[in-house]
Structure formats: structure tokens, C-alpha cells
Amino acid sequence: MIREIYYNINKRVFSIRAKKTPVSYAVAARVDLPKFVVREGGRQQVLREKQKNVHAFIKGEMVTLDRVPCLDGLRKVSYNPYKAGHFYDCQTDEPIYAAQYAVLLLDENKRPQVYIKC
């Protein structure tokens, strides 16, 4: 099933929603054929008001992970509304809009980590 996944800063997990309704939470997931979506109106609101809102997410076929997969050869991706209006490769700053798959994890401080295979 196609899902939208975003980092929930209040619960410090990934929120998963279907048809714009939250349905569950995960600490690790794999998303096949992900599209990296940024709603520009929400981003502009963040820039104006300096208050976070859900306007960026990953959309695709989601599978919850039981264990951390091997991350060798994957590219780390991030999003910062103050830096760019799109997700980007952490090493090259190249815009990322889609991938073959994405792995979403939380680090030891419960911060989101996203890795992709192009």
C-alpha cells in the first residue's frame, strides 16, 4: 500500500499516514519507489512563522523493518526547509526527488536518518 511517511518531532518516531490520516508509527522502515515530496506552501509558512509543520514527507510502498539492513552503498538524504525546498544528498547537496528504495531509521538520539538507493 502507498503510504506517506514523515518524522514526528513530538513522538520522535516516523508517522505513517494513508489518505492524509495517521495510521501507525515506526522506528524503522523501507519504502520502495519513494517520491520525496515538499509542499512549498507549508515550507513558506515555516520560513515566515519559524514554526514547524508537516509539509515534507516520503511517499511510496512501505515495509516495516525488524532489523537494520546493511547501509553500504546507500546515499544519506536529508531535508531542511531553511536550506532548500527539496530533499538533498548530504554529501553533494544534489536534489533528490525519487529513488529505487529508501531506508528510514532513528539514530541513538532518535533523530531521523534516511538512506537511498538510486
pLDDT for residue 24 is more than 90: yes
pTM for this predicted structure: 0.93
In the chain, the number of structural domains is 1
Contact 88, 96 (CB under 8 A): yes
- 56-78: pLDDT as tens digits: 999 999 987 878 888 999 999 99
Buried/exposed code over 15-45 (b: 16+ C-beta within 10 A; e: otherwise) = bbbeeeeeeeebebbbbeebbbebeeeebeb
pLDDT for residue 1 is more than 90: no
Domain of residue 46, residue span: 2-117
CA distance 7 to 104: 9
CA distance 92 to 50: 26
